[in-house]
Amino acid sequence: MINASSLEFIWFSAFVALVTGYAILDGFDLGVGMLHLFSKKDEERRLMLNSIGPVWDGNEVWLVTAGGALFAGFPDIYATLCSAFYVPLMILLGGLIFRAVAIEFRSKRPMPWWRWMWDVLFSLASLIIALALGVVLGNLIRGLPLDAQKEFTGDLSSLLHPYALLIGIMAVALFCMHGGIFILMKTEGELHDKIRSWINPFIIFFIITYSLVTMATLIYMPHMIKTIQERPIFFLLAVGNMLSIANIPREINQGKDWLAFVSSCFNIVFLMLLYAVGTYPEVVRAINDPSLSLTIYNSASSEKTLEILIIIALIGIPLVLAYTTAIYWIFHGKVKLDSSSY
């Protein structure tokens, strides 16, 4: 039998894996959305939309699944986060709704003003989602003011901390780079050449914001490197992250766009692992009193519940991975426009 602490760690690892999967898969969707308005031709915008057309809605399922995993496995953490991030979460949900509506509605009418209106909403919603995700992550790293009842005692202004906003900007830069590489991999001809001319500035934008976040974390968030200091083996995550970033422009310059995309995916994986290692075992850090922090051990569901959840996950996750793999295989290759395209 697996003991309770192992069950809690396993379920937390599953949650981190789901969030990482969402960041990788919906990350390039958000990047494509933010880059959408950079193109002035309707045909090019349609190509960009259709590069994510078969998969964007399935990618969002990873976020829903991660939310369900958090609710089932760590209900106290779920309740505290929903209370603390009520406004950002509503903004995030609004962005998800408007993005979906924009994708489906823009091609329903041929008028330029109609398509332009939905294009703006699509790009704006993608930007808002990326920024909101980064702000939430930044606040989780920094910590939240909590009381003895595990309730958030701050307000919206306390969430708009400079560090959290910096993480939000880095998330925008990361997804723009990730989405640009995906478009590069999925297109050809004039649009492909145009995206190739855009990609290096986005890589530089991400590297600059990543460097600023790293410096700010080392100076103002020393708790994030405590585990790495105690267990130097985890420093290999930072090394892997830097190598992944450095390999992106190398592969692009060699014309190996798919390898650049793989490197971008590994970059996101290493970033999420560094976050998980830095905050473990805390999920919601109490900035006012560390003893009030919510960890995976003091906020988990019962042992029996976690056992059932893991059994369900062992059945469900392979099915989700199989479905995702099948969809991406079916729709692999360069994007072509036809009568069924957006």
DSSP conformation letters of 48-101:
HHHHHTTTHHHHHHHHHHHHHHHHHH-HHHHHHHHHHTHHHHHHHHHHHHHHHH
Give the pLDDT confidence of 86-128 residue by residue, as tens digits.
888 898 888 888 888 888 888 888 888 888 899 999 999 999 9
pLDDT band at 255 (very low <50, low <70, confident <90, very high): confident
Is residue 179 domain-resident? Answer: yes
Give the pLDDT confidence of 292-324 residue by residue, as tens digits.
889 988 888 888 888 888 888 888 888 888 888
Secondary structure E strands in 115-215: none
Mean pLDDT of the chain: 89
Is residue 219 domain-resident? Answer: no
Is residue 79 domain-resident? Answer: yes
Give the pLDDT confidence of 24-83 residue by residue, as tens digits.
999 999 999 999 888 888 888 888 888 888 888 888 888 888 888 889 889 999 999 988
Q: Is the pLDDT of residue 135 over 80?
A: yes
Position 147 scores a pLDDT of 87
Is residue 291 domain-resident? Answer: yes
For residues 21 and 61, which has the higher predicted lDDT (pLDDT)?
21
Long-range contacts from 256-264, C-beta under 8 angstroms, 24+ separation: 257/181, 257/184, 257/185, 258/185, 260/181, 260/184, 260/185, 261/178, 261/181, 261/182, 261/185, 264/177, 264/178, 264/181
Is residue 338 domain-resident? Answer: no
Is residue 260 domain-resident? Answer: no
Position 3 scores a pLDDT of 66
Eight-class DSSP state of 283: E
Residue with tokens 């060699």: 254
Position 153 scores a pLDDT of 87
Rounded to whole angstroms, how far apart are CA atoms 181 and 195?
8
Range of the domain at 108: 2-204+283-329
Q: How many domains does the chain have?
A: 1
Full-prediction pTM beyond 0.85?
Answer: yes
Is residue 242 domain-resident? Answer: no
Is residue 341 domain-resident? Answer: no
Give the pLDDT confidence of 164-196 residue by residue, as tens digits.
999 999 999 999 999 999 999 988 888 888 888
- CA 230 distance to own-chain centroid: 28
Question: Between the CA of residue 122 and those of 27, 49, 217, what are the distances in Å?
Answer: 14, 10, 32
pLDDT band at 339 (very low <50, low <70, confident <90, very high): low
